[in-house]
Amino acid sequence: GAVVSQHPSRVICKSGTSVKIECRSLDFQATTMFWYRQFPKQSLMLMATSNEGSKATYEQGVEKDKFLINHASLTLSTLTVTSAHPEDSSFYICSARGFPQGGEQYFGPGTRLTVT
């Protein structure tokens, strides 16, 4: 139980284009989903928190117009990196929290984004 998937696992895009990353909870309903960013050899930094059907809450310093988050259902959240630049290259990881999995965050396998 508590399986979270992400798609794609890797994506390479050209500077200026937009990329969408999907996060799905496969065997539970995710009342809350989280998006993190992780640079090489660094810890996870929370970007935003989204509750199903509500607007996402962004952490300080994260541009909401650049990182568009949609949480339209209890099993799917999407992160769209708009007008991507090389500095947006990173490992993006989502997590989901809900019931009946005890309320803890379970993480997806991550998406490696490379902007050329």
Partner 1 sequence: GQQLNQSPQSMFIQEGEDVSMNCTSSSIFNTWLWYKQDPGEGPVLLIALYKAGELTSNGRLTAQFGITRKDSFLNISASIPSDVGIYFCAGRHPDDKIIFGKGTRLHILP
Scan residues 28-87 and list those touching partner 1 (CB under 8 A).
34, 42-46, 49, 59-60
Is-contact 92 35, C-beta < 8 A? yes
Is-contact 7 22, C-beta < 8 A? yes
- Told to check if 107 binds partner 1 by CB under 8 A, we report yes
Stretch that binds partner 1, among 12-20, 64-72, 81-89, 100-108 (CB under 8 A): 100-108
Answer for which of 39, 109, 114, 116 binds partner 1 (CB under 8 A) is 109
Q: Residues near 20 by Cβ (< 8 Å), separated by ≥ 6?
A: 78, 79, 80
- Told to check if 110 binds partner 1 by CB under 8 A, we report yes
Only one residue has tokens 């952490």, namely: 59
Pick the closer one to partner 1 by CB: 4 or 113. 4
Question: Considering the complex, what minimum distance in angstroms separates the CB of residue 43 from partner 1?
Answer: 5
Residue among 77, 10, 17 at smallest CA distance from 47: 77
